[in-house]
């Protein structure tokens, strides 16, 4: 015989989802702008109301047990629908017709995409773009994103993709450092501070005919930060050409060698999206605009390279 279940305190469900996703009360509090104590109280209230535990406590971590996993699976679609409704209400309140949520890497956003967003706005004033930057590959449907710009060769499970452009790695430095190294053999760079990963530098030097072991002075988890360090004269960088394109054209960076490193598994930029958004007009417009802007950037970079030669 089935017994009636107690009413769930609905205000606790977003907190429950955050704790379940992050496995940490303090991290969930930071995400929700709540204190650690408030998060703990909400989880306790939910468990007391249900009459059973939802998490196993393992030191500072809290991990979903079987009951918690079942509850999360049941409430996640409803919470996602509420989130979408909130976004729709926010769009309606601003008078903007449609809002496109995109997640991209910080370096791509800062050094390539943001300088071009005014042009997008001029062409599509009725489509607002909400940009989210992250080094992590987000779960697009779960996090409410319509698309992401990703780098690699794919495929990405559950997503479709449009290949945007390939971007090889080139050796760049500040104008002052480039002038000092003008005419030198690449082996002379081994005595200079090198920025980037040892794997990429060793692959580049092998391609140049000088196989050797490399110990860079600094490794960065963000391509944009590494290129900024090179602009400041802190070393020679082996960086993504697309991210460096505007700095190369403006003269803030100088390419030291025409030799470029291409690795098939990492070179291409893609726009990826859940299949259900494939024919959504705002996404189609953004994809066409991206492809056009990337082609323009590649053409201008090629022209600047010819002038430099």
The pLDDT value recorded for residue 96 is 46
What integer is the mean pLDDT of 300-307? Answer: 65
Top pLDDT among 222 and 104 is at: 104
pTM beyond cutoff 0.75: no
Residue percentage of the chain with pLDDT more than 70: 90
CA atoms within 13 A on the CB side of 51: 4
For 183, residues 6+ apart whose C-beta sits below 8 A from its C-beta are none
Q: Exposed (0-12), middle (13-18) or buried (19+): which is 174, by Cβ within 10 Å?
A: buried
Higher-pLDDT residue of 211 and 134 is 211
* Residue range 182-186: mean pLDDT, rounded: 87
Residue with tokens 């190369």: 248
Question: What percent of the chain has a predicted confidence (pLDDT) above 90?
Answer: 25
Predicted confidence (pLDDT) at residue 268 exceeds the cutoff of 90: no
Q: Which fold has domain 10-86?
A: Arc Repressor Mutant, subunit A (1.10.10)
pLDDT of residue 237 exceeding 90, the answer is yes
Provide CATH 3.40.190.10 ranges for the chain: 96-167+266-308, 169-255
* 3-class state of residue 296 by DSSP: helix
Residue 212, class by beta-carbon neighbours within 10 Å (0-12 exposed, 13-18 middle, 19+ buried)? Answer: exposed
Contact indicator for 204, 240 with CB cutoff of 8 Å: no
pLDDT at 1: 38
Which pLDDT score, from 0 to 100, does residue 269 have? 87
Q: Give CATH 1.10.10.10 domain extents, the chain.
A: 10-86
Reply yes or no on whether the pLDDT at 62 is more than 70: yes
For 96-167+266-308, CATH number?
3.40.190.10
Third-level CATH fold of 169-255: D-Maltodextrin-Binding Protein; domain 2 (3.40.190)
Average pLDDT score, the chain: 84
Neighbours of 169 (CB within 10 A): 25
d(CA 75, CA 169): 45
Residue partners of 24: CB distance under 8 A and separation at least 6: 60, 61, 62
The pLDDT of residue 175 is: 94
């Amino acid at each position: 015989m089935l017994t009636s279940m107690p009413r769930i305190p609905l205000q606790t469900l977003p907190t429950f989802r955050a704790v379940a996703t992050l496995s940490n009360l303090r991290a969930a509090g930071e995400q929700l702008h709540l204190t650690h104590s408030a998060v703990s109280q909400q989880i306790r209230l939910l468990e007391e109301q249900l009459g059973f535990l939802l998490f196993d406590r393992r030191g500072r971590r809290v991990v979903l047990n079987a009951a918690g996993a079942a509850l999360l699976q049941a409430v996640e679609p409803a919470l996602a629908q509420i989130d979408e409704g909130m976004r729709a209400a926010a769009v309606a309140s601003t008078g903007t017709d449609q809002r496109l949520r995109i997640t991209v890497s910080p370096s791509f956003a800062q050094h390539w995409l943001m300088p071009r967003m005014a042009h997008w706005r001029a062409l599509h004033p009725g489509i607002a773009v909400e940009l989210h930057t992250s080094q992590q590959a987000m779960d697009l449907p779960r996090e409410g994103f319509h698309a992401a710009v990703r780098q690699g060769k794919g495929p990405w499970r559950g997503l479709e993709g449009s290949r945007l452009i390939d971007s090889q790695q080139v050796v760049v430095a500040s104008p002052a450092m480039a002038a000092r190294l003008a005419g030198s053999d690449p082996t002379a760079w081994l005595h200079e501070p090198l920025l980037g990963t040892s794997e990429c530098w060793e692959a580049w030097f092998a391609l140049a005919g000088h196989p050797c072991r490399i110990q860079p002075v600094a490794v960065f988890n963000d391509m944009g930060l590494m290129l900024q360090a090179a602009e400041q004269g802190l070393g020679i960088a082996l960086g993504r050409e697309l991210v460096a394109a505007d700095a190369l054209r403006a003269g803030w960076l100088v390419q030291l060698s025409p030799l470029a490193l291409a690795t098939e598994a990492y070179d291409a930029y893609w726009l990826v999206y859940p299949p259900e958004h494939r024919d959504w007009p705002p996404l189609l417009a953004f994809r066409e605009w991206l492809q056009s802007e990337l082609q323009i950037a590649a053409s201008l970079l090629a022209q600047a390279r010819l002038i430099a030669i």
